Amino acid sequence: MAADGGIPAQPLPVAARAPGKCIVFGEHAVVHGAPALVMAIDLETQLFARAAPATSLNSDAEAVRENPYFREGLARAWPDGPPLAVRAVSRIPRGAGLGSSAAFSAALVAALGAVTGGIARRDLAQRAFEVERAAQGVGSPTDTAASVAGGCVALNGGDGPPLWSVRTDERAWEVRRVPDPGWVWVVAHSGIRRATGDQVRAVGRRLASADGAALLERFRTVAREGIAAVVREDRAAVAARMRENQALLTEVGVSHPRLEALLAAAAPAAEAAKITGAGGGGSIVVLPIPGREVDLTRRLARAGGLPFVVRPAPHGAGLIESGVRP
């Protein structure tokens, strides 16, 4: 294991945790190489693995075939390993754009990496991405990068310390640390679950159309300026770029009436709000007017959302060392 704060070796049984995420700038465009800003959030998945007579996930033996993240995780991080009983519990709503699948993939690869002698953080980032991408068929390493790194990170942007690059055969994404400005954020789930892969493919078709290159360039500019605004802790500029990013997401067709209703409900208590993640359902992220967080969560709940006040989770995926057993 490299000395990069990686996952140390540990025999079974093993317990791991990994945070969810919230994209502030650049979802969808990042799949095509544009910059993005993402933060790990303090909603997490915990996972516990022990030797067992047959492999299962939360007592379901069919999950080996039917849960693509579990199947791909075992194939990549536990090939030919003996049977395991895995339990996973999470506070991250599923299919909500808040990184539940990235957190599951990162926690599973971290746990199995520990049992197979430890794993360097950059390898954990690459492998967790490969699990998520194989399960979804498309996508960027944005969600898994946040879940593995913790805190705030930029993909293909920012000028902070480089962490690692994550690649497919066709493309590489540079992941850099962005200082956390220490702000409180609010996310709210619309209650509508959607498949990330379907949204990504639909936006890919839109970006391949006649004006697609110009549209992608506008996504690039907004994310680049948004990242710079976060670095200089300029809330007004961050809010302005969030609104522009939301207009672009609407233009590529990933909004939804329920998301629009949440954005409208948030407006009186928000500096800015936008869709976060793949859209088409899922969640919004809000930069609240300071001191109005409680009012904001009430407004969002009244509009039918499931709100969470979140802060960047400082630590990425890691082992749970104190005998905590989900």
Binding-site ranges for ligand MEV (CB under 6 A):
23, 27-28, 30-31, 97, 139-140, 142-143, 196, 200, 277-278
Nearer Cβ to ligand MEV (30/238): 30
| Cβ closest to ligand MEV, residue 23 vs residue 135 | 23
Would you say 114 or 200 has its CB closer to ligand MEV?
200
Residue 48 or 104 with smaller CB distance to ligand MEV: 104
| Closer CB to ligand MEV, 86 or 148, in the complex | 148
Closest CA to 182 of 23, 286, 310, 276: 310
Shortest CB 35 distance to ligand MEV, Å: 12
Angle at 264 between CA 205 and CA 266, to 5 degrees: 110
Least Å distance, CB 317 to ligand MEV, is 17
What residues are paired with 87 via a beta bridge? Answer: 48
- Rounded CA separation 144/126 (Å): 8
CB of 217 to ligand MEV, least distance (A): 17
User: Distance of CA 110 to CAs 77, 132, 185, 227, 257, Å?
Assistant: 9, 14, 27, 29, 38
CA pair distance 52, 78, nearest whole angstrom: 14
The minimum distance between CB 80 and ligand MEV, in angstroms, equals 29
CB of 259 to ligand MEV, least distance (A): 14
Q: How far apart are CA 184 and CA 307, in angstroms?
A: 13
Q: Are 65 and 44 within 8 A, CB to CB?
A: no
Q: How far is the CB of 193 from ligand MEV (least distance, A)?
A: 13
Report the distance separating Cα 270 and Cα 252, nearest Å. 24
**Exposure of 127 by Cβ count < 10 A (0-12 exposed, 13-18 middle, 19+ buried)?**
buried
Smaller CB separation from ligand MEV, 27 or 123: 27
Nearer to ligand MEV, 12 or 202 (CB): 202
Q: Is 241 within 8 Å of 232 (Cβ atoms)?
A: no
Q: How far is the CB of 303 from ligand MEV (least distance, A)?
A: 22
Q: How far apart are CA 28 and CA 237, in angstroms?
A: 21
Given the complex with ligand MEV, which of 23 and 125 has the nearer CB atom? 23
CA torsion through residues 142, 219, 279, 39, sign? positive
Q: Which single residue brings its beta carbon nearest to ligand MEV?
A: 139
Smallest gap, in angstroms, from Cβ of residue 200 to ligand MEV?
Answer: 5
Distance CA 99, CA 223 (A): 20
